[in-house]
Amino acid sequence: MTMTSSNQTKHESKNPVQRRLIRRFHTAAIAMLRRTGARTILDLGCGEGFVLAEIANHNLGAELTGIDRSPHAVLSARSRLGSRAQIDQADARDLLEGGRRYDCVMMLEVLEHIPDPAAMLPILERLTTSHLLLSVPREPYFCAINLLRGKNVRCWGNDIDHVNHWSQNSFRRFAELRFDIIEMPAVFPWTMILAKKK
């Protein structure tokens, strides 16, 4: 039996507040992608393909590719997107060997799960020809909101699989290690960054 991922639970929530927040998140991501003019977009850690499906629904005219390490998520994303995106089961490091580069690389709600997120920055730098779109939960607000709604109370509101926690400013500093920040749209309770290679 396959468990529903936290990403799927978040995107399929019936809670009207949660749905509104997710819509704002998708709207901001699509606006940032339009700003880049990217013709090729890679979604690293695409999960079940919810964000890629929103991008496909908005006809950005870009070739869409998604990868995820979870076989269940890949099957779900392929079912959701059909021929509108290329979805593969892979690790970001596997892509470096192929030599393919993308106009914009996205890593949305993934870096908080990675034990050594700084090791991803040079990989992201090599995979993109130009732009990067990142997002993480905005702390300490994300945990506080979870606590207020009675979620993850034993962990003080922290999702059990979140191993990194950034404030808006600390995440900006993290991204600036390798990229120039273009914009940070307001998508509370997340921090989103559109950046460009230096």
What burial class does residue 88 get, using C-beta atoms within 10 Å of its C-beta: 0-12 exposed, 13-18 middle, 19+ buried?
A: middle
Confidence check: pLDDT of 160 > 50: yes
Which residue segments constitute the domains of the chain, with CATH numbers given? Answer: 6-137+165-197 (3.40.50.150)
Confidence check: pLDDT of 55 > 80: yes
Confidence check: pLDDT of 31 > 90: yes
CA distances, 29 to each of 8, 10, 33, 117 (Å): 18, 16, 6, 21
Task: Decide the pairing of beta strands 102-108 and 40-44.
Answer: parallel
pTM: 0.90
Question: Of 31, 79, 85, which Cα lies nearest the Cα of 58?
Answer: 31
Give the list of residues 6+ apart from residue 78 with CB closer than 8 angstroms, or none.
49, 87
User: What pLDDT, on the 0 to 100 scale, is given for residue 133?
Assistant: 98
User: What pLDDT, on the 0 to 100 scale, is given for residue 1?
Assistant: 46
Confidence bin at 22 (pLDDT 50/70/90): very high
Q: What whole-number distance in Å separates Cα of residue 56 and Cα of residue 30?
A: 10
Beta strands in 112-189 (DSSP E): 128-137, 179-183, 186-187
pLDDT tens-place string over residues 138-153? 877 665 665 566 666 5
